[in-house]
């Protein structure tokens, strides 16, 4: 089974910039678009970034995404308390013929 790796956790103070890495392989991130999801406890995930770096309507511009080769990253600039949540990257995997999610990163606002 394909594995996409994220750091388990990261933290920052309000106003700081934090970044989350997402490392995959040629069959997923290397071949397909990357999407990012934000999830609060007890709720369904919400699409945060799609097509590597696009924000759906309503997502603040302090969230940004990028991709290079088999890795991607999510940046949150001007961190706010309401950004404290779990974040997952995801990409279609051509070997799996399905999605593979990153291991997830918990963002804590100190």
Partner 1 sequence: MQLVESGGGLVQPGGSLRLSCAASSSAFSNYEMNWVRQAPGKGLEWISYINRSGRSPSYADSVMGRFTISRDNAKNALYLQMGSLRAEDTAVYYCTTGNRRQPLVLWGQGTLVTVSS
**CA 70 from chain center: how many Å?**
14
Site size with partner 1, rule: CB under 8 A: 26
Judged by CB under 8 A, the residue of 7, 19, 21, 33 near partner 1 is 33
Q: Are 9 and 108 in contact (CB under 8 A)?
A: yes
Taking the complex as a whole, the smallest distance from the CB of residue 47 to partner 1 amounts, in Å, to 5
Q: Are 69 and 31 in contact (CB under 8 A)?
A: no
Taking the complex as a whole, the smallest distance from the CB of residue 73 to partner 1 amounts, in Å, to 17
Among residues 26 and 80, whose Cβ is nearest to partner 1?
26
Judged by CB under 8 A, the residue of 10, 12, 50, 62 near partner 1 is 50
Count of CB atoms within 10 A of residue 63's CB?
18
| Structure-block tokens of residue 9 | 């956790």
Given the rule CB under 8 A, which of 19-27, 64-72, 75-83, 87-95 is the region that contacts partner 1? 87-95
Q: Are 55 and 47 in contact (CB under 8 A)?
A: no
Taking the complex as a whole, the smallest distance from the CB of residue 14 to partner 1 amounts, in Å, to 26
If phi > 0 it is left, if psi is from -120 to 50 it is alpha, else beta; for residue 84 that is beta
Interface positions with partner 1 (CB under 8 A): 1, 32-33, 35, 37, 39, 44-47, 50-51, 56, 86, 88, 90, 92, 96-104
């Amino acid at each position: 089974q394909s594995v996409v790796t994220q750091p388990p956790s990261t933290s920052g103070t309000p106003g700081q910039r934090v970044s989350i890495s997402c490392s995959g392989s040629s069959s997923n991130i290397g071949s397909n678009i990357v999407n990012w999801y934000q999830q609060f406890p007890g709720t369904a995930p919400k699409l945060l970034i799609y097509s590597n770096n696009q924000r759906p309507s309503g997502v603040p511009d302090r969230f940004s995404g990028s991709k290079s080769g088999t890795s991607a990253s999510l940046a949150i600039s001007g961190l706010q308390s309401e950004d404290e949540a779990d974040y997952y990257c995801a990409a279609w995997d051509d070997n799996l013929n399905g999605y593979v999610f990153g291991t997830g990163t918990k963002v804590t606002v100190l």
